Every structure is written in structure tokens, then in C-alpha cells.
A and B are shown apart, each in its own frame.
Chain A
Amino acid sequence: MSAKSLTKPFIFSLLILPITFVAVMSMKGAAAASALTMTLFAATVMVELFAVAQFVRVRRAFAAGDAGYLTWTLIVTFMIIRLVAEGRLLTLTYNLVPEYRDGASSTLYFYIIVLRYLYTLSDLLFIGALVTTIRSYKITGLPFKLLRVDYLYILALCTLPVVTFIFRGNLMQAAIANPDGYMMVYRLVAVSVGAVIASLCIVVRRYASQMGGGAVARVWNMVVVAGVARDGSFLALALISGWSKPTATFVEQYLLWTFACCWLIAALYQNAVFARAAASPEVAVAESLA
């Protein structure tokens, strides 16, 4: 499986999924539309499983002392923790665990409320991976610099948690699984961490663009799209759920689908980088022209 062969079906899915959702919603109603969202969630988890296998391959290609080793170790850990969190959410989505109510057992409280923060923990590891990537660019001593406009973008991103806080009432209403009273706090934490991720993504995007193309830049451009899609999912949920809960959960899941696919494509691009470096100059040039 190559990144190129996966990109076209991914773009096709981005076009066909909203059309399918609108068709199902208008012809079969909200319940069928929610079922479609749940199916998309299960498909997203499958893509994340494929992605983590690719991450492990990439990590193995770096030696322990390489700058990329720490970055990809953090990425592998980030995705494994995220998958554990997704496993928990699957059990809630398909009602395999009872709903949380005030006065429920401490085990249920731990499982439903506390383990929710596994997502936050995984996001912190994602932040670590982005920081080590930025550091890798800087230690080369080559001229990778932020522009003034980047600081404006970062400033704009800092307003995301504020916007989410203003619309915080909506965060209680929308959840793919059963919402509870603690959901709002979690989502506010998540969107704040997400804003940090998106800010760091701006830095990585700028450095990648300053590389002047190439396979390495493609890897980090995909990671940036993944990071922005993750943060966008929270914002979309906050903005849309007051209007339509099924649409809000679908848009959230659609952005998470984008997040998962971009990660998988990024890992495949990174594996292609190693393959190209190992190819003879004639093959490498011919591949780049193909």
C-alpha cells in the first residue's frame, strides 16, 4: 500500500461522505444518520489501527540516537493511547457499558469519566512529537523561519478555546456516546490542547513549505492537516450542535476520519522517504518524475 494509491480513495471519501449523510438524513431521518456516523467512527478506528502499524515501521527505520526516533516514538505512543481511548468509546457507543448517572459505582466513574482523558494524554504526546519535529528542523542550522503572518494565525488559534467556551452549552448536547455532566469540562480541556497542537502545526507547516517541496515536506504537511482536523472537530461540535445534533456529531466524525487518514498517509509517505533514500540516483529521479 502506497500513499499515492490511498490519496485518491481518501479524497473520494471526503466528497461522498457528506453527500451520503445528507441523503440518509433527508430520506431516512436522524436515527439512520446517527447509525452512519457510528459506522464512520468504527471505520476511523480501523484506519488508526493500520496507521499505528505503519508508525511502528517508521520508528524502526530510525536509530535510537536519531532526532526522528524520539518523534516517531512519541507518535507511536500517542496513537496506541488514542486507540485504547477509542476502544473505550466503542464500548460506550455500542452500549456495551451502562450509562453513567450520579451515584454510579466508582468503577463506572473511572471508566467513563476519568478514562476520557486518555485522549488528552495522547494529544500531549502529539504536542511532544511536534515540538521534537520543530527542534529537528532548528538543529540543522538551515534557514527555517516563521513569518509575521504565522504569529497572527497562532493568535487566531488562541481564540478557539474562547469561542468554544462561549458556546460551551452546546458541548453538553453533542456526543457520539451518552453525554454526562462532566463532558463540557473535558471538551474545553480538549479544545485548549487542540489549539496548542494547531499552533505547533502552523510552525511545522511553515518549515515544511520552506523545504521547497520533496517527500519529507509531504509527510509533515499531512501531519499538519491531521492536527488541524482534530482541533476543527471540537470547534465544529461547539458551533453546530446547537442547530442539529446528528449533523454536529457527523461533522466531528468526518473531521476525525480526515485526521486518521492523514496520519496513515503521512506514515506511508515517511516509509516512501526511506525507500527513496535507499534507491539509486537514477531510480530516485525517475520516481520523483512519475
Chain B
Amino acid sequence: MMHERILGYLAPVLGEATANNLLKHYCIKMHITVEEITPSQVPELANAMRPMMAVWLGTAGAMRAAEEIARMGKGA
């Protein structure tokens, strides 16, 4: 499942609750269901999450994290 892979990547850094809330927040914004994220939606989702990730990771860190998440979609 795509969302589990994204959460597995984000949770060790941002914490389980924040990672969950972050993903839900942007899925609602993109009108998609968390459990039904498709690999093709991942790059756009990763890009959308970037500004909020920058709060804790900085712009450069968030950019790298977004790239890694986007890569999950491409690799799936």
C-alpha cells in the first residue's frame, strides 16, 4: 500500500501522529482517500507536502524528502 510506504518514511522523522495528520491533510486537499493513493498521485502529493515538511526539515531537507517520496511512486 502506497500510504503505508509514505508513512513508514515520514514517521521516524516527524512522528507517527504528525505523519498521519500530514498525509490526511494533503489527501483531503487533493480530494483523494489515504488508503487509495496511486503511484501516479505520489509525486504531486509529495510536492504539496513540501512546505509543511519545511517547517521541521528546512527547505532543502523538505525538498530531499519530497524527492524520496516521489521516487516511491515512480518505483512502485
Write the residues of chain A forming the contact surface with B, with a CB cutoff of 8 angstroms: 61-63, 65-69, 136-137, 139-143, 210-217, 273-274, 276-281, 284-285, 287-288
Contact = CB atoms under 8 A, between A and B. Distances in A.
Interface string B4-32: 01001101111111111110010000000
B74 to A, nearest CB: 12
B23 to A, nearest CB: 11
Nearest to B56: A216
28 contacts: A61-B61, A62-B58, A66-B54, A66-B55, A66-B58, A68-B56, A142-B18, A142-B21, A142-B25, A210-B17, A211-B14, A211-B17, A212-B20, A214-B14, A214-B18, A215-B12, A216-B14, A216-B56, A217-B15, A273-B56, A273-B57, A277-B61, A278-B61, A279-B68, A281-B9, A281-B68, A281-B69, A281-B72
Given A214-B14, A280-B71, A288-B12, 11 more contacts: A62-B59, A140-B52, A141-B25, A142-B22, A212-B17, A212-B19, A216-B13, A274-B61, A284-B9, A284-B68, A285-B12
Nearest to A68: B58
B57 A287 contact: no
Interface of B: 5, 8-9, 11-22, 25, 52-62, 64-65, 68-69, 71-72
A61 B65 CA distance: 14
Q: Give the dominant DSSP class at B's interface.
A: helix
A67 B65 CA distance: 17
B14 A143 contact: no
